[in-house]
Chain A
Amino acid sequence: MPLGARSEKFFGSFFQKRTSLLFRLLATGEGLAGLTMLAILLAVALTAPWLAPGDPLAIKGDPLLPPWQTMAHPLGTDRLGRDVLSALIHGTRTTLLVATAAAAAALGIGITVGTIAGFLGGWVDEALMRVAEAFQTVPAFLLTLALISVTGPRVPTIVLGIAIGAWMQPARITRAEILSLRERDFVAAARVIGMRPLEIAFREVLPNALTPVVSLAAVIVAAAVLIEAALSFLGFGDPNRVTWGSMIAEGRTVLRRAPFLSIIPGIGLVLTVLAVHLTGQGVAKALRTRRIAA
């Protein structure tokens, strides 16, 4: 990194680096497969109101129709006669929305805390890291469950609940990166030209520390998908929205009679988590090749 890189210039080169990273990512088999699956899921989520118009919870036909029987309900109907296909499509929406929002929130909290702790050091670092450790001693899922049973199951609280259970890892990684970067010459130079400490931390140091943290996003998104499904399965999902977890929970009572009700959203979950993990692996691989090339 050239000495005294100003932020505009810096962000420009950052994005340039990103695009070339994207090409390298697509060049890896995992990245191509993962990104394609994610793109399809995203397309389904975005076009859900056109693919399956109307309320996905509306009662449309006879209860418990098996799949592949009628054109009107290609994936059959559930115990109340709701169309499984529309529920699956709209479930993609909720699942992706909750997972990406939760991952974004977790990364946001984690990066902020990690940067402040790593750059300022001293008692601020001590205090923030002890808090992070306190959160890490409680299993993330229990933390989320506790928060939601107090605040009530609505999408914003579910997102917050998942983020609360997942911000510690990005915080620690960011802190470690910042610790190694803050002693560099360009930081000293920034101090000399009179930038304030937080400005230096967020504008100069953080962008350089970001790449390893971003590759953590895949892990967090995949975990968020599963936590959201588990919450819905336990009846702590938003009851006014369809989610894959609630579909599995609903299907569980008729598991022996109509196993498709649980299997179909289960396949959706498997594919989503697989896509996110493949993309994550692809990113890691692409980053390795970049480092070697550099």
Chain B
Amino acid sequence: MTQMPEGPMNAPTRRRLLAGAAALPFLPRPALAQKRGGRLTVAADSEPPNLNPAIIASNGVFFVASKVIEPLAEADYRAKDGLAPRLATSWEGAADGRSLTFTLRQGVTWHDGKPFSSADVAFSALEVWKKHGNLGRAVFRELEAVETPDANTAIFRFAVPTPAQLIRNALPALTAVVPKHLYEGTDIMRNPANQKLVGTGPFRFAEWRPGEYTRLVRNPAYWDQARPFLNEIVYRVLPDRAAAANALEAEEIQLAAFSAVPLADLDRIAKVPGLKVYSNGYEGLTYQLVVEINHRRKELSDVRVRRAIAHAIDRDFVVRAIFRGFAATSQGPVPKNDRVFHATDVAGYGFNPQRANQLLDEAGYPRGEGGIRFRLRLLPAPFFNETRQFGDYLRQALAAVGIDATIVSNDTPAHLRAVYTDRAFDITVATPVYRGDPAISTTILFQSGLPAGVPFANQYGYENPEVDALIKQAAATIDDAERVRLYNAFQKQVTDDVALVNVAEFSFITVARDNLLNVSNNPRWAVSNWADTGFAD
């Protein structure tokens, strides 16, 4: 195998540097030589039947598809605007917010040999992202036309002024470009290429054996000729979390992302020689642990009761005991790691059961028989071990201030129906995802007037005209600084109202063999293209 040195060799200090990397997510990664070749086997827990990232922006899809189909730009720790170019090499928004011009990369070919051009971008934007994208639909709603003056330029034209900042923040997750020649004139949702992917990425889709594995192979015609380093990536289906840890130790797999190894097992895994734990590389997909509140319930419509609930929760305990330290406490709807939008001056609700009791007394709910003020139905989302455990914790935390919560457990479809369609809950434990811009999937949690049945949205009966006005105004504001100001005001307002209780921000853990290099080196690493990842020489 040819050696591809990427920088000065400093192998002797590698262990020590890497050992600290988990604690310091932004530590500059030592540049090391990775060799060309090798097969990387990774743990996969699900096999989405539709793998088209242009339609389904979800981490389960991206985990595989991002290696095959590329977006216009990818998130980056250091580059300008936090974006590294992929299929677009540069982008420029017009001052009036009505157009955005992309300069596209030249010399790119699809995996089937056809050349890539601006026509593919125009088709993807208008026919796929805007019409079928689960999140793209909202972001590109006002996209009117895409002009293609030449093969390397695409000009997006919007019907109303659209913030360039929002489109930029949406580039990594919502702009996967699919080949026009395979999709044009077909039923896009049923196109076979949604499963047998054809893209421009560093890896080609080779085969899918349901229940066994999905295999990707190196694209020898990748536009960055120095990359990728790996010959193959194999996603082995290991739905049992305990199996992933064992497979890593047995060297059957070399990488387990998305906390496939249970957090509780990490202390032990971290000590296994040859394995390394990364807690960074997920900043672009922060999950938020929140308590959703049904404002239609009489007791909960009182802001004092909601504040009491916020005060009853010991966030430090949650981070320490449930997330074993791999999370951060949270007080507002924008996570701390978004240094542009995160507002620091929001109302904080520290752990204070005394204050909570006092607020509940003031609200007119004295302790009755058995010390109980009132009863609630608590529906913990069944999505993660941690949401269930937090449900158990929350029941105890509320009992301490005289609120008797009965846990109602459901499977995922029943939970989604109960909360987002039937609204048959009092409080729930949920995990909305923050995707780099409040307008992508966060403001929808607070905006009023949504029809029943829209999941992961405000089905809570929270209504504040001021908040609605701020959301509307910010969506049409094209000045970056003004947007930030409006979203700060928005965060302040919703935390004052305790529309939801934000408890913690968590992401995931990657465990990999320590001879695998360039792991977790961008904010969306697990769902990026892995072109620079390779085994140490």
Contact = CB atoms under 8 A, between A and B. Distances in A.
A19 interface: no
Interface in B395-424: 395-396, 399, 406-411
Contacts of B396: 55, 57-59, 80
A81 B321 contact: yes
B392 A80 contact: yes
Given A235-B409, A256-B268, A79 B389 contact: yes
A253 B242 CA distance: 7
A239 interface: yes
Given A81-B321, A257-B268, A59 B241 contact: no
A240 B406 contact: yes
A79 B395 contact: no
A255 interface: yes
A70 interface: no
A287 interface: no
Contact of B399 (A58, A63, A153, A255): A58
B382 interface: yes
A254 B264 CA distance: 6
A254 B322 CA distance: 12
Contacts, number: 56
B61 to A, nearest CB: 26
Q: How large is the interface on B (under 10, 10 to 19, 20 to 34, 35 or more residues)?
A: 20 to 34
Given A57-B392, A79-B321, A253 B399 contact: no
A57 B395 contact: yes
B320 to A, nearest CB: 8
Nearest to B393: A80
Contact of B265 (A59, A80, A153, A256): A256
Q: How large is the interface on A (under 10, 10 to 19, 20 to 34, 35 or more residues)?
A: 20 to 34
A55 B405 CA distance: 13
A252 interface: yes
Contact of A80 (B241, B262, B321, B411): B321
Contacts of B408: 152, 239
A80 B317 CA distance: 9
Interface string B309-325: 00000000000111000
A69 interface: no
Contacts of B262: 253-254
A256 B243 CA distance: 12
B187 interface: no
Contacts of A152: 408, 410
Q: Is the interface of B mostly helix, strand, loop or mixed?
A: helix
Contact of A63 (B245, B265, B321, B406): B321
B267 interface: yes
A149 interface: yes
A79 B264 contact: yes
Nearest to A62: B321
Contacts of B399: 55, 58
B385 interface: yes
Contacts of B321: 63, 79-81
A176 B323 CA distance: 58
Interface string A49-64: 0000001011100010
B264 A59 contact: no
A255 B393 CA distance: 21
Nearest to A150: B414
Contacts of B245: 256
Contacts of B322: 79-80
A252 B409 contact: no
Contacts of A255: 242
Given A55-B399, A235-B409, A257 B265 contact: yes
Interface in B406-448: 406-411
Nearest to B269: A256
Contacts of A149: 411
Interface string B34-66: 000000000000000000000000000000000
Contacts of B389: 79-80
Contact of A239 (B320, B407, B411): B407
Nearest to B264: A254
A59 B268 contact: no
Contacts of A57: 392, 395-396
Contacts of B242: 252-253, 255-256
A235 B382 contact: yes
Interface string A242-265: 000000000011111100000000
B389 to A, nearest CB: 6
Given A80-B392, A252-B242, A240 B407 contact: yes
Interface of A: 55, 57-59, 63, 79-81, 149, 152-153, 235, 239-240, 252-257
Given A240-B395, A253-B241, 4 more contacts: A55-B399, A149-B411, A152-B408, A235-B388
A-B interface, 6 closest residue pairs, ranked by CB to CB distance from nearest: A239-B407, A254-B264, A63-B321, A239-B409, A253-B262, A59-B396
